């Protein structure tokens, strides 16, 4: 199973008035981690859009918060493919402190879209070549 | 039942390269809508922190996406209290287009915290006076 | 002279750990206020892009900060066209507290771009019809 | 002269509908780069606040934009101290593509503040020990 890891340091601009991470930031990082996951398995989402008019749009996202993230903390966002269906993928993200202690866990469920008509996206089956790559990435 | 409504217009800076709302923005708006909900029932969260060292910290958030949000769209974020327990509240947010058509639905589950020690928050029972106000706000 | 005014309330998510607005937020608001200024004079920047492949890209931005913005403050962002040249516009933004007290002042200098080739924008003279509208908007 | 360098990759969430970086993001990165600059010279801004009630608040920021930042681009933010006065510091930031080609240049001018009273910051002379460290950091 492919596990993609992105590292970052919690910055001043990520904090709210309590001195802890303002929670939408975690979703920004999960989105970036998802893109990196796709790159890791040689699927560049931007190229997929430009060359084949395919995108993976969002159906659902979710996070559970275990500990507050604080200034200067070095974190890891570990991403793996947890579910794959004909049209959808579910990416699972764990955000950990240095010592492998989980601070946030979340997922993004995405659906394969034909975006040729930029004003009217249509869901579609994941093309076979992409499905094969994703299936392989999720295999234990 | 109290229903708080926040209006806004989708701006250029909310969009991603596909010309639709970058999804962490919805969480930013839900957070603001939650604060407004509390103000509507005369609980100013900032005052609560400053005067009583109480905050409602996050346990879990989630969104489902029905339609992409696009430039210039005028939206309404409708917020209500869906669940109340001894320590927690769950706010439900519906983001709608002008014609009451849902584009996003989500929730924030929050837990009552004693934040006197800014480096070590502790969960606590919701104080009775606040509980009464919240109970009333959720009543049909 | 056209003066466009946008109102907003400073939200929890705009604050940093000191409890004051994290300064990149002011630029987000100025960008939105600029778009609204253009709408006020019947130039929808999104349409301009989609229908005529024209955008006003950034050359320079700047802000001076007079007072910190705090939670719940109701602010006004007042925008006017300060300079117009063959290829460029300069929008001046004043961010004020309710009582017309300035908290931030800034500008955005933008250049007219032909964005037909999305990977290679080219500067161009502002088309005559747009120039006339802008000239009128800046006239005392 | 101390030159602090921060690297990052432009992410999907940094882009606007034209597929280029939404400009307030550059200020977010400059802010983070400024904090890293201070860490490089052993001044942790968060500690400075917590232990001595000192912060460097913003007087003015500015950016000039030379080339649009695009998806996946690996950039460097190079930060140095350009000016130092009794009360103020000016940090200069250059954002470069891999090949040392400048895409954005900007500055942050900050003033030393006593933030003991969190609702009423007061400007102050930079304490001698900090001034000495900063003077050294800016020396050629």
Whole-number pLDDT of residue B140: 81
Cβ separation B32–C45 shorter than 8 A: no
Kindly state the greatest CA–CA separation across chain B.
Answer: 48
Write out residues in chain C with pLDDT < 70, as ranges.
Answer: none
| Residue B57 Rama label (left phi>0; alpha psi -120 to 50; beta) | beta
Give the model confidence (pLDDT) of A15-51 as tens digits. 999 999 999 999 999 999 999 999 999 999 999 999 9
Distance of alpha carbon B47 from alpha carbon A13, whole angstroms: 23
CA dihedral D68, D71, D74, D78 (to 10 degrees): 40
Query: Closest approach of chain C CAs to the CA of A110, in angstroms?
Result: 26
Q: Residue D99: pLDDT above 80?
A: no
Give the model confidence (pLDDT) of C43-79 as tens digits. 999 999 999 999 999 999 999 999 999 999 999 999 9
What is the pTM for the complete model shown?
A: 0.97
Distance of alpha carbon A17 from alpha carbon A104, whole angstroms: 19
Note whether C97 and C105 are within 8 A (CB): no
Select from A23, A22, A45 the least CA-distant residue to A91.
Answer: A45
Residues 6+ apart with CB under 8 A from A28: B24, D13
Interface of B with D (CB under 8 A): 12-13, 15-19, 22, 24, 71
Residue D50 burial class via C-beta count within 10 angstroms: exposed 0-12, middle 13-18, buried 19 and up: middle
Whole-number pLDDT of residue D25: 98
In this complex, the residue of A13, A46, A72 whose CB is nearest that of residue D28 is A13
Q: Is B90 helix (H, G, I), strand (E, B) or coil?
A: strand
CA dihedral C12, C17, C23, C26 (to 10 degrees): 10
Helices C45-52 and C24-40: angle between axes, nearest 10 degrees: 70
- Output the average pLDDT for chain A: 96
Helices B24-40 and A24-40: angle between axes, nearest 10 degrees: 170
Residue D36 burial class via C-beta count within 10 angstroms: exposed 0-12, middle 13-18, buried 19 and up: middle
Pairing between β-strand A54-65 and β-strand C102-114 as defined by DSSP bridges? unpaired
Structure tokens at B46: 């900032």
Note whether A100 and C46 are within 8 A (CB): no
Query: Closest chain D residue to C116 measured between Cα atoms?
Result: D18
Concatenating the DSSP letter of every residue in B61-125 gives EEEEESS--BTT-EEEEEEEEEEE-SSEEEEEEEEEETTS-EEEEEEEEEEEEE-SSTTS-EE-P
Distance of alpha carbon B3 from alpha carbon A32, whole angstroms: 34
Whole-number pLDDT of residue B28: 98
Select from B104, B80, B83 the least CA-distant residue to B24.
Answer: B104
Select from A98, A95, A130 the least CA-distant residue to A112.
Answer: A130
Whole-number pLDDT of residue B67: 96
Query: Closest approach of chain B CAs to the CA of C6, in angstroms?
Result: 11
Backbone angles phi, psi at B36, to 5 degrees: -65, -40
Cα C111 → chain centroid: 13
B36 vs B17, B99, C12, D25, CA distance in Å?
A: 30, 22, 10, 27
Whole-number pLDDT of residue A140: 81
For an interface test with D, give the residue of A27, A40, A72, A77 to mutate (most D CBs within 10 A).
A72
Whole-number pLDDT of residue B99: 74
Cβ separation D61–C57 shorter than 8 A: no
Query: Closest chain A residue to C18 measured between Cα atoms?
Result: A17
Q: Residue D10: pLDDT above 80?
A: yes
Q: Which chains touch B (3 or more CB pairs under 8 A)?
A: A, C, D
A107 has which bridge partners? A62, A92
Helices C24-40 and D24-40: angle between axes, nearest 10 degrees: 170
Give the model confidence (pLDDT) of D108-127 as tens digits. 999 999 999 999 999 999 99
Structure tokens at D92: 């200069």
Sign of CA dihedral C123, C127, C128, C134: negative
C89 vs A72, A93, C113, D67, D82, CA distance in Å?
A: 40, 44, 12, 18, 29
Give the model confidence (pLDDT) of B70-79 as tens digits. 999 999 999 9
In this complex, the residue of D12, D35, D71 whose CB is nearest that of residue A11 is D35
Whole-number pLDDT of residue C94: 97
Whole-number pLDDT of residue B98: 76
Residue B62 burial class via C-beta count within 10 angstroms: exposed 0-12, middle 13-18, buried 19 and up: middle
The mean pLDDT of A100-106, rounded to a whole number, is 94
Query: Closest approach of chain A CAs to the CA of C96, in angstroms?
Result: 22
Whole-number pLDDT of residue B100: 81
Q: Is D47 helix (H, G, I), strand (E, B) or coil?
A: helix
Length of chain A: 140
Q: Which residues of B touch A50 (CB under 8 A)?
A: none
CA dihedral D23, B22, B33, B44 (to 10 degrees): -50
Distance of alpha carbon A90 from alpha carbon A136, whole angstroms: 14
Give the model confidence (pLDDT) of A63-81 as tens digits. 999 999 999 999 999 999 9
Cβ separation C46–B71 shorter than 8 A: yes
Whole-number pLDDT of residue C16: 97
């Amino acid at each position: 199973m492919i596990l993609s890891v992105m590292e970052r340091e919690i910055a001043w601009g990520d904090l709210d008035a309590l001195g802890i991470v303002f929670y939408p930031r975690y979703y920004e990082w999960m989105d970036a981690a998802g893109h990196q996951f796709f790159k890791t398995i040689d699927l560049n989402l931007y190229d997929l859009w430009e060359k084949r008019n395919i995108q993976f749009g969002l159906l659902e996202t979710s996070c559970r918060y275990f500990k507050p993230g604080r200034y200067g903390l070095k974190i890891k966002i570990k991403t793996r493919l947890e579910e794959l269906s004909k049209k959808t993928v579910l990416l699972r993200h764990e955000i950990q402190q240095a010592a492998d202690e989980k601070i946030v866990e979340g997922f993004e469920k995405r659906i394969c879209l034909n975006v040729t008509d930029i004003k009217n996206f249509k869901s579609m089956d994941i093309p076979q070549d992409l499905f094969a790559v994703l299936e392989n990435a999720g295999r234990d």
